[in-house]
Amino acid sequence: MKAAVIAYPGSNCEYDTYYVLNNVLNLKTDLIWHTETNLKEYDLIVIPGGFSFGDYLRAGAMAKISPASLALIEEAYKGKFILGICNGFQILTELGLLPGALIVNTSLRFICKFVDLEVINKDTPFTHKIEKDVIKIPIAHFQGNYFIDEDNLKKLEDNKQIVLTYKENPNGSVKDIAGIINEKQNIFGLMPHPERATESILGSRDGYYIFESVIESIRKS
Amino acid sequence: MYKVKLIVKLKEGVLDPVGNAISSACRTLGFDNVKEVHTGKYIEFIIDANSEEKVREEVKKLAESFLVNPIIEDYFILEIKKI
């Protein structure tokens, strides 16, 4: 069992994410540069946070044409587990692997703080090990305002694809959405940073259970 | 060669926090006639092609492949000029 963390020019959470997978969860992990064209050997592919290509044009817009993103699409369609954190979530929506888009926060401010998140759906490969109903994980973003039109929002709700919502909406997201999953439940994107909340010394361990959930899901599959 | 001016703007109904901030600044400064403000992007290209039709095709492909996110944005060509 092996994971990959894809780093783009401008990613800045790739080492944290690598450390968490490799050292905290003891999952063999490779740090992959965005020019990589083959991701076949990985069971889990993570797109970390940061500002890929400086967020030029739109957050994630440039990253979607990197070779590693195209390789990721191939693996995503095979049903491999894909996790997009913050900028990774933005990239997954730009790739069309998750519905909707992430736009500028209503406050026009970069927000970096711990937030309380309601776990709306615990019955997913990424959340089944979470016991609490409300978890504490930090956010750090300027473009985390989730937008989706009404018809597609209804689909998300009907299919139970809304996984995490903010207790207090920090950025203007539709329906307080903080994280969603695709219909097949193998692709999960969220604005909060679970990798920054995996050891008690960091103020919360709630993020740990997201990684633990997906690792157990890989084991079972 | 053609010079192309492209405008990308947020779709109607998509929240435009930058537009709203400018709008409220207008009110603060006393420009009470300003009722709404919308913001977008301006992109200029120099394209080597034989005809205007080919340029339009090229720009459409560019826009749809990554310059525009159709979920939140619309685009239109402001001007095409032979240079």
Query: CB-hemisphere CA count at 13 Å for A59?
Result: 25
The residue in chain A having the minimum alpha-carbon distance to the alpha carbon of residue B40 is A57
- CATH number for the domain including A63? 3.40.50.880
What are the start-end ranges of the E strands in chain A?
A: 3-7, 29-33, 44-47, 81-85, 101-103, 111-119, 134-141, 145-147, 162-166, 177-181, 187-190
Domain ranges of chain B: 2-82
Per-residue pLDDT tens digits for A15-25: 999 999 999 99
Query: Smallest Cα–Cα separation from A102: which of A167, A69, A58, A137?
Result: A58
Query: Residues of chain A with pLDDT > 70: what percent?
Result: 100
Contacts of A108 in chain B (CB under 8 A): 17-18, 21
What's the confidence (pLDDT) of residue A68? 98
ipTM of the complex: 0.86
Indicate if the pLDDT at residue A221 is higher than 90: no
Contacts of B11 in chain A (CB under 8 A): none
Q: What is the DSSP letter of B65?
A: I
What's the confidence (pLDDT) of residue B27? 95
Query: Smallest Cα–Cα separation from A198: which of A210, A187, A190?
Result: A210
What's the confidence (pLDDT) of residue B13? 87
Per-residue pLDDT tens digits for A154-195: 999 999 999 999 999 999 999 999 999 999 999 999 999 999
- Architecture per CATH, domain B2-82, reads as 2-Layer Sandwich (3.30)
Per-residue pLDDT tens digits for A65-108: 999 999 999 999 999 999 999 999 999 999 999 999 999 999 99
Distance from CA of A100 to the nearest CA of B (A): 7
Q: How many independent structural domains does chain A possess?
A: 1
Asked whether the beta carbons of residue A62 and residue B66 sit closer than 8 angstroms, the reply is: yes
Which residues span the domain enclosing A36?
A: 3-220
What number of other Cβ atoms are within 10 A of residue A28's Cβ? 11
Digit-by-digit pLDDT tens for chain B (83 residues) are 999 999 999 998 898 988 999 999 999 999 999 999 999 999 999 999 999 999 999 999 999 999 999 999 999 999 999 99
Indicate if the pLDDT at residue A219 is higher than 90: yes
What's the confidence (pLDDT) of residue A11? 97
- Smallest Cβ–Cβ distance between A108 and the set B14, B17, B65 belongs to B17
Per-residue pLDDT tens digits for A107-158: 999 999 999 999 999 999 999 999 999 999 999 999 999 999 999 999 999 9
What's the confidence (pLDDT) of residue B42? 97
The residue in chain B having the minimum alpha-carbon distance to the alpha carbon of residue A95 is B66
Element (H, E) at B55: helix B52-62
The residue in chain A having the minimum alpha-carbon distance to the alpha carbon of residue B65 is A65
Indicate if the pLDDT at residue A30 is higher than 90: yes
Start-to-end CA distance of chain A, whole Å, equals 11
